[in-house]
Structure 1
């Protein structure tokens, strides 16, 4: 039997791609009469992740925000005792900030991104409350992380997370795309220290999956039935996207950066199914020569394009466009620094999405029936691209040439192949229908979300 109003604390990893789906979940939970305190934990990147109340906040007074600096030194090169002390201090900072809120009420549950699993264990120990681990990745990628210990024991990967035999692959199921040695989510061949941090974070993810009271994932049973079998009890409540009516009225919750909505007016001037949408998320980078090839590939396609170009997209530096490019494409393309992506993907003028294949972007595109061109660069993006091209067959991968470059010629060819392939469009439309049905009454994600709400209330 439910007592007073449940008070849930949600803690994301400080990165746009992790905070966005958890904030969407926060609003969805709050709409069922549950109080939610969303913790803004800062940013891993140059742009701040500042949690600003969205338009939806006016409708959901049950959502409150608190900002706490939660550094990631807990994944640094420290002794076990120093790490333990850092984790406890961070958890105490979070709890102190929440308790100092004017409308503070007793916390009944903490929901945290799985990569912030140490928050769950520390808070649970301090308050003796229930904990929920939120998986922001696909079930397949999450399952790989959850198998780290078994893969290490089997001698498949070493203690640094590298494949022992680089020419082999990891296969968890015949119905899930396998992982090559270079495509494992924590691998970063360019930076050993970054890989070490990613691998340590992945092990925290695994531990959170084993110790929490419940696991919730931004995916759907219809998308990944085989992967769901690998994490028993995981509640798939996705895709976490806005309904069309909410999208038109308020936009999508979860973006913490300033969106250039002028691109929507620009899309209004274009014919249906004509525009190539290009965006690489908040963290993926291109080398300058890759940026040049992409620019010239879009130009040579002769098709209208909407291109999201972050100021730091070329390996952290402002990009330099090919000479004369901006003048030549002035009537063909629209370039913005950040776009209201869900609104863009829902626009009838968009024909396809050239993407880094982050899980959020993949879910948003699939849920709108938009075919994808895949340009993954790190983490789970390679596995997502394999789902898109090999399992769901709603997109195509861009292939590197013998020099390791995705050329303007390849970009042009793949755009034409994708837009002329009716089977990809049909598959995308069918997957869109499955995505919509899963979150409607009677759907698998709808039923799982009801289970989640009941867990939070009682």
Structure 2
């Protein structure tokens, strides 16, 4: 394909690692199909990230108005999002002009659902438009119905209300996506979803088959997940061994050396992602729950969260556990010593665990996580939820018994069998001709005629 005729996709993630990584993986898949791709990050993120210099994806920058410190430089969430929208609208347009002047005109803008203003940027330049949702299809369907005024999210303590939507199981109040301070950001994702050319979900067909039947009647849907590096799944992209971007430096050597002498399936891996701030009371309950479980554990506690650990905890568990500030999660989840994954049920972490066949103990915190936890337990059967008390805290005894349920009890055997089944299905989705691979190939072919 001659370079001047090569379709060019500009991809715009929300400026957070949990959004950048899956969209970057999608970029790599598009490049493998002959599409030129430029991933646009904010200036601050671009300066901060540890990126792979050999990446087949091109990178561009735009401004969120906080080039020196990103979100941390802003006065508030509202202030940041307002600047991201207003300054981003202008500077993203400047990037598109710059690419055009350099002989690399853009055909399609693929933007994160958290950035609906990008739709109007694409419209101004006459580009095709695609929205990329990093949360599950089920969660996005719930939020869409809230946006349309068809349902409302019940209070967490309302034991009588349920959410009923075609293609979804019934959700009790405590299982539904949780209202939070970013409610407008989440709900306004759908302000122009009915007018885009494509809707992408980071999932695969068999994982959310029923709800996909419903949403494909609404939009031109493409499932393009799971968005993990190829060498962990289908192994068709030989250079695709990791995500290629890190906003935190993982403690690689310490983690892998510690795991290397642990028995197969004996270690509990614990991580609550790159964003969640766990309450001090909950941190203490997790700490003693892990210690009392008597299993070896590897716990990721970000630097800003370490002060919440109980006094002298790290010394007390030195023979049993390892606490690190960040980890190479994919390599840990594939290590033979790992027995289960205690997670906040962020969708990226859930997808990784499912794709790698690792049983889950779910401790959802907010946003989409309670709904993901329901699917983990009730629908996919790959894990067990640790139910919080009336204060929203999972106490140490509940965590201890939940870990034991997965690691030792009869239900744990079924969970492990289900995890192995879903691992195979995830790989099949990205094998040549699989549902996700087919969707990516078809999209790439459609771009040839943009």
TM-score over 0.5 for the pair: yes
Among 123, 126, 135, the alignment partner of 2:124 is 126
Q: Secondary structure at the match of 1:229?
A: helix
Whether 1:268 and 2:260 are equivalent positions in the alignment is yes
RMSD of aligned Cα (Å): 3.0
Correspondence 1:321 to 2:309: yes
Counterpart of 2:407 in structure 1 is: 419
For structure 1, the residue ranges without an aligned partner over 5 or more in a row are 78-82, 189-193
Find the residue that maps to 1:412 and give its secondary structure: helix
1:179 to 157, 162, 171: 171
Q: Is the 1:177–1:383 Cα contact (8 Å) retained in structure 2?
A: no
Which residue pairs with 1:54 in the alignment?
51
Contact 1:42 1:70 in 2 (8 A): no
User: Partners of 1:303 and 1:75 in 2: how far apart?
Assistant: 39
Q: Which among 387, 395, 398 is matched to residue 383 of structure 2?
A: 395
Q: Match of 1:108?
A: 107
Distance 2:388 2:413 in 1: 25
State the TM-score, normalized to the length of structure 2: 0.86
Alignment of 1:7-86 (within 5 A): 7-41=8-42, 50=47, 52=49, 54-55=51-52, 57-60=53-56, 62-69=57-64, 76=78
Tell me which residue corresponds to 2:286.
294
1:440-455 correspondence to structure 2 within 5 Å: 440-455=431-446
**Counterpart residue number, 1:362:** 350
Q: Give yes or no for the alignment of 1:170 onto 2:163.
A: yes
Normalising by structure 1, report the TM-score: 0.85
Q: 1:103 to 1:349 in 2, by over 3 A?
A: farther
Over 3 Å counting, the alpha-carbon distance change for 1:294 and 1:165 in structure 2 is: closer
Distance in 2, Cα, partners of 1:178 & 1:342: 32
- Describe the SS at the equivalent of 2:424: helix
Distance 1:86 1:42 in 2: 12
Paired residues of 1:132 and 1:215 also in contact (CA < 8 A): yes
Deviation at 1:274, TM superposition (A): 1.0
Aligned partners of 1:143 and 1:230 also within 8 Å: no
CA distance in 2, matches of 1:187, 1:426: 34
Which whole-Å CA distance do the structure 1 matches of 2:341 and 2:103 have between them? Answer: 43
Q: Summarize deviations over 1:292-317 as a string: whole Å, max 9, x none.
A: 1111111111211111001233xxxx
Distance, in Å, in 2 between the alignment partners of 1:292 and 1:374 is 17
Separation in structure 1 between the aligned mates of residue 431 and residue 315 of structure 2, nearest angstrom = 47
State the distance in 1 between where 2:196 and 2:443 align: 14
1:234 matched residue in structure 2: 221
Alignment match of 1:215 (pick from 199, 204, 212):
199
Name the CA distance, whole Å, in 2 between partners of 1:446 and 1:360: 19
Q: 1:382 to 1:296 in 2, by over 3 A?
A: same
**Residue pair 1:252, 1:342 contacting (<8 A) in 2 also:** no
Moved more, 352-361 or 242-251: 242-251
CA contact (8 A) 1:15 1:49 kept: no
The whole-number CA distance in structure 2 between the counterparts of 1:149 and 1:329 is 47
Instruction: Call closer, same or farther: CA 1:404–1:362 in 2, change over 3 Å.
Output: closer
Deviation at 1:386, TM superposition (A): 0.3
Query: 1:98-131: CA deviations, max 9, x gaps?
Result: 54469551111100001212112x2222211101
Aligned residues: 428
- Offset of 1:15 from its aligned partner? 1.9
Given that residues 290 and 406 in structure 1 are in contact (C-alpha distance below 8 angstroms), is that contact kept between their aligned partners in structure 2? yes
Distance 1:390 1:184, change over 3 A: closer
Distance 1:456 1:438 in 2: 22
Are 1:221 and 1:236, in contact at CA under 8 Å, matched by a contact in 2? Answer: yes
Q: Residues 178 and 370 of structure 2 are in contact (CA less than 8 Å); yes or no, is this contact kept in structure 1?
A: no
CA gap of 1:118–1:332, structure 2 versus 1, over 3 A, is same
Instruction: Tell me: CA distance 1:295–1:364, structure 2 relative to 1, closer, same or farther (3 Å).
Output: same
Task: Mark the CA change 1:249 to 1:162 in structure 2 (over 3 Å): closer, same or farther.
Answer: closer
Deviations 1:400-419 (A, max 9, x none): 24664311111111111101
